[in-house]
Chains A and B, each alone.
Chain A
Amino acid sequence: MTRTRSPQSHSPRRFGALRSWLGWTVKLSLVGLVVLAGFAVYLDAVVQEKFSGKRWTLPAKVYARPLELFSGLKLSKQDFLTELDALGYRREAVAGPGSAAVSGNTVELHTRGFRFYEGDEPARAIRVRFSGDYVAGLSGADGGDLAVVRMEPLLIGGLYPAHNEDRILVQRNELPPYLVETLVAVEDREFFSHFGVSPKSIARALWVNAAAGGVVQGGSTLTQQLVKNFYLSNERSLVRKATEAMMAVLLELHYDKDEILEAYLNEVFLGQDGNRAVHGFGLASQYFFGQPLAELQLHQVALLVGMVKGPTYYNPRRNPERALTRRNLVLDLLAEQGVLDAEQAAAAKQKPLGVTSRGSLANSSHPAFLDLVKRQLREDYQEADLTEEGLRIFTSFDPILQNKAEAAVHDTFKRIGKGGDPVEASMVVSNPETGEVLALLGSRQPRFAGFNRALDAVRPIGSLIKPAIYLTALERPSQYTLTSWLADVPFSVKGQDGQVWRPENYDHQAHGDIYLYQGLVNSYNLSTAKLGLELGVPNVLKTLARLGVDREWPAYPSMLLGAGALTPMEVSSMYLTIASGGFNTPLRGIRSVLAANGEPLKRYPFQIQQRFDPGAIYLLQNAMQRVMREGTARSVYNQLPRSLNLAGKTGTTNDSRDSWFAGFSQDLLAVVWLGRDDNGKTPLTGATGALRVWTDFMVKANPLPLDMPVPDNIIQAWVDARSGQGSEQGCPSAVQMPYIRGSEPPPGGACGLPQQAPVGNVQDVIENVQDVMDWVRDWSN
């Protein structure tokens, strides 16, 4: 039978199909909406959780010591300017924080404030007047004198987590003028009026792109960009775009424009420094201009905002022309939109890019010292805390002294020439009065974060051990004084294993009878070893332990000549106790730790322990001063003024495999080690190698002369220079020497002169008198 095709018979069926199709659509849509709603709820939770919680993991920031300015401070104008340059001060008329002006011997500047452990140091305008190597006057803007002003500390590095992100967080109130307006004008004109997505912007973008025939403009809002960077990846799919849009809307629902803007400013990617990503305007400002964000001027702001679109493409160091063009385009845009007037824009376009030549993130500038900081911190903090919580670490690091130390090593090796090529170096500079580490070199290449010899190279110390022997002796004034007689004669000792130990002097000579101090001054092995054996090797090792050396060494005689090995840091510890007058203090590099928000967390206080009688130390220091005046280190006074009292000890090991020098002034202790990593022979002795580096450093560092206060139990007694017997003032060959009270040689008869053989004739007598006159003349020179 044929079916008649009447419309009526179709429509009910089509209608039925339509209805069922509609029904399915409705059901599906409902399901879809539910799913969407659920997804939205999930996104909402994600958005809030990350935004409200701790938003970024921040690396710890490590700061050098802040310069404390006061009238009378030993600081040259040049060194001060070096510090200001490192801090990124602009040389211009002093207007606000971060500006400095020099005129003659006066430097006018406006400091930036900083929060330290005890509280805030305010920013202020000051005037510093120099005279020679000292600060002669310090006054405020009103002309009134200031007692002390603490500069902000230099950032010298950070402790980074594995993903190597870094930020300097900025807040809404720390922004430079024009930043917000520029950002909005360039990236999201409707920012302050849209709800997360901006249909207007999308429409505009479509229009502009269609007209241009390509993608010229984006329609994303700042909020969307923030979502993309903060929560999502760079993946470009429709689903991702949709998610991004939803999250942007949700973000705007919960947070106001200021908060979103702040997050954006801290999140946006602006450059790559090696394996570290530069995120946020705060860090970018430091990285490109070496200045805090708040101090940036219009043309600098325009550059940074222009880079948002393509930080690598518009990198001002790699592609300066592109960057300049982009920056000027931004400035034109601002003028177009009425943010700037024509003159402002024109003036800004005239300015050069203004970026610093090298990224000054200072992560790896001082790896040796940073290594020390990390090790000291790891004793108190977990790795995650160190690299994620944004701790602020204040150290004792002195960038000025570090530069001088590096220069000293560099210059000395240049003078040594090719012979020094395979030789490595390390150096520890510390303050003997406070126990703080001021500068650290782990290798000849100071920027290289490799083997840190200052902390880890354990090398035989050679003659550096001798002061411990002499100190042990001088602690027994009833038996030993500086002018006790020692016999510098060959001898040998048979060990328990049957081995015979036969020490020799460096010059293979025996020097006969010598004064005790001369054994140290000339670093004689024979007399020193004999003295050490008399005292007992275990007693010498005990002295060493009291000096601060922690190593357990066997009590072999060879230890007396320095067979034992230490790191330069451990040597510093040992000599610090001598330099400080007998007080041991643990070497430290960290002063205090603050949380990211400025809350004080931990302080590393000054601690000391008196380990030796000051009288014995005074005598040892006297002998060690003579090392410099007349002993193995006398070449220092070819370059340093004789009025500068210094004390020290050279150290050379067999075949010159190690060249050491440890020496100090009143305010600086420096330990230098030179040697080959493969322990091979070098052409350098302690005097020709390490001492030269040390001397060069001291010439640059301008230390205070050593001036230990005379202990109560020390007296000066007159003795005859040749016999060592007690003498009197006015006697021809009488000199004064320090003694612990009660141990001075009592006055011998006849000026204590050495007894002569019976005089044959007057001629002999006259000749002897001539000799004496010569000596007297020598001394008074």
Chain B
Amino acid sequence: MGAVAASALLSGCATVERGSIPVVDASGSVYDRQEGRGSAAVSRPPVAAAPQAPASAQDSGVVVMVPGGSANGAPIRAYPSSGGAGSVTPIVSPPIAATSGGGTGYSSVPSVPGGVASRSAAASGSLAADEQLDGPVLALLTTAQREQGGGNLESAASSLERAQRIAPREPQVLYRLAEVRLAQGDAAQAEQLARRALTYASGRPALQGSLWNLIAQARERQGDAAGAAQARERARVNL
């Protein structure tokens, strides 16, 4: 490993002729750095200058520290990646048996006694085949469905928030909450909740599509026709 690196280094150095090493901007003066915070790339010209400091600021008596290129500062440290690359983490629970009180049944995901909720083709279109819920969240979504069906939207929202406390990163819960909000007439909140759901829905194109459609509806209700069209376009692209 050391030998490989050494040879790579040597070969790298070997391609550069003595005396022809380009002066790298990295060791430029402080003033160059300040102006127009360009990208870190060497070859790009500085991008448009950052907004000027307030007019009262003056550079009086600035001491220029001679930077030793990049050698002065501490190098970037790396860490073994532990998570952070993840998208949605499904609810951590062992496969458990039937939900309690799954009487009326959730429209797309029938509860299977003795097993994890089965995958099923989206019945109402709100969940796709890859959506899967089990345990407490499914039970509470079922309850919310029942309450909503009975016209009690506040109770439904309350049950959905219980589900959200249990599984805060489950986008389907936020999606249902957005639906209830829309039904209650709070289009602005519906859109925000849907946006939040989207941040957790990567890798689930069907759900993303449904969410964008909901956002489109919400924007329409808020009188934002252009925004609604944009959202519908995003939904179309996803589905």
Which A residues contact B (CB, under 8 angstroms)? 68, 70-73, 117-119, 134, 136-137, 140, 144-148, 150, 431, 433-434, 476, 478-481, 483-487, 489-496, 500, 510-515, 518, 530, 533-539, 555, 557, 581, 583, 591-592, 600, 603, 605-610, 614, 626, 629-630, 643, 645, 667, 705, 707-712, 719, 721-726, 731-733, 735-737, 743, 745-746, 748, 750-751, 753-759, 765-766, 768-769, 772-773, 775-776, 778-780
Known: A71-B94, A643-B82. A629 touches B75 (CB 8 A): no
Is B121 on the interface with A (CB-CB < 8 A)?
no
Minimal beta-carbon separation of A768 from chain B (angstroms): 8
Interface 9-residue window, one of B124-132, B134-142, B224-232: B134-142
Which residue from chain A places its CB closest to the CB of B30 in the assembled complex?
A487
Q: In the docked arrangement, what's the CA distance between A737 and B62, Å?
A: 32
In the complex, are the beta carbons of B157 and A608 less than 8 A apart?
no
**Shortest Cβ gap from B55 to chain A (Å):** 9
Known A147-B96, A605-B161; judge A72-B54 contact (CB<8 A).
no
B158 and A117 within 8 A (CB): yes
Residues of A within 8 A of B21 (CB): 755-758
Interface check B24, CB cutoff 8 A = yes
CB pair B8–A606 under 8 Å, yes or no, is no
A511 and B40 in contact (CB under 8 A), knowing A70-B136, A118-B147?
no
Question: Dominant SS at the B interface?
Answer: loop
Nearest-neighbour CB distance to chain B for A225, whole angstroms, equals: 43
Known A-B contacts A518-B73, A614-B199, A775-B75; A493 and B67 likewise in contact (beta carbons under 8 Å): no
- Closest CB of chain B to A717's CB: distance in Å? 10
The answer to whether B76 and A513 have CB atoms under 8 Å apart is no
Chain B residues near A491 (CB, 8 Å)?
59, 62-63
Tell me whether A535 and B50 are in contact in the complex, defined as CB-CB below 8 angstroms, given that A147-B135, A709-B202 are known contacts: yes
A contact residues around B135 at 8 Å (CB):
70-72, 147-148
Residue of A nearest to B156 (CB): A118
| Nearest-CB residue, chain B, relative to A580 | B196
Within 8 Å CB of A608, what residues of B?
Answer: 189, 192-193, 196
Among B5-34, those with CB < 8 Å from A are: 5-6, 8-10, 12-13, 15-16, 18-19, 21-24, 26, 30, 33-34
Given A70-B136, A610-B195, A745-B40: A539 touches B51 (CB 8 Å cut-off): yes
- Distance, CA A607 to CA B192, complexed state (A): 8
Judge whether B40 and A483 touch: CB under 8 Å: yes
Whether the Cβ atoms of A725 and B42 lie closer than 8 Å is yes
| A-B CB pair tally, cutoff 8 Å | 294
Asked if A147 and B139 make an inter-chain contact with CB atoms under 8 angstroms apart, the answer reads yes
Chain B residues with CB under 8 Å of A530's CB are: 34
Query: What 12 additional pairs, Cβ within 8 angstroms, besides A71-B93, A514-B73, A754-B69?
Result: A71-B94, A484-B40, A487-B67, A493-B58, A512-B72, A609-B192, A709-B87, A709-B202, A711-B199, A722-B71, A745-B40, A779-B79
Contacts known (A72-B91, A434-B165, A735-B78); A533 close to B33, Cβ less than 8 A: no
CB <8 Å contact, A70 and B166: yes
CB pair B154 A146 closer than 8 Å: no
In the complex, what distance in Å separates the CA atom of A64 from the CA atom of B56?
53
Once A721-B75, A779-B77 are accepted as A-B contacts, the answer to whether A117 and B155 lie under 8 Å apart by CB is: yes
Taking a contact as CB atoms closer than 8 A, the residue among B23, B39, B51, B56 that contacts A745 in the complex is B39
Given A723-B70, A748-B41, A748-B42, verify A493-B57 contact (CB < 8 Å).
yes
| Contacts A518-B73, A732-B9, A779-B77 given; does A480 touch B37 at CB 8 Å | yes
**Contact call B41/A723, Cβ cutoff below 8 A:** no
Cβ-based interface call for B47 (8 A): yes
Q: Which one of A600, A626, A759 lies within 8 Å of B13 (CB-CB)?
A: A759
CB within 8 A of A630: which of B33, B77, B92? B77
Tell me, yes or no, whether B109 is within 8 Å of chain A by CB: no
B13: chain A residues within 8 A (beta carbon): 756, 759, 765
Partner of B5, one of A148, A708, A732: A732
Which residues on the B side are within 8 Å of A779 (C-beta)? 77-79
Q: Which residues of A contact B145 (CB under 8 A)?
A: none
B122 vs chain A, min Cβ distance (A):
23
Distance in angstroms from B193 CB to nearest chain A CB is 7
Which 6 pairs from chain A and chain B are nearest by CB? A72-B93, A433-B168, A147-B139, A148-B136, A70-B136, A721-B75
User: What is the chain A residue whose CB lies nearest that of B63?
Assistant: A490
Of chain A, the residue at the smallest CB distance from B57 is A493
Q: Does B237 contact A (CB under 8 A)?
A: no
- A512 adjacent to B93 (CB under 8 Å): no
- Beta-carbon contact of A513 and B62 below 8 Å: no
Set B74, B79, B196: member contacting A583, Cβ < 8 A: B196
Residues of the B chain whose Cβ atoms lie less than 8 Å from the Cβ of A581? 199
**B50 and A534: CB pair below 8 A?**
yes
20 sampled A-B residue pairs with Cβ under 8 A:
A145-B98, A147-B99, A148-B166, A434-B165, A486-B33, A496-B56, A511-B73, A512-B65, A512-B73, A515-B73, A533-B57, A614-B199, A705-B83, A754-B26, A755-B26, A759-B13, A769-B5, A775-B75, A778-B77, A780-B80
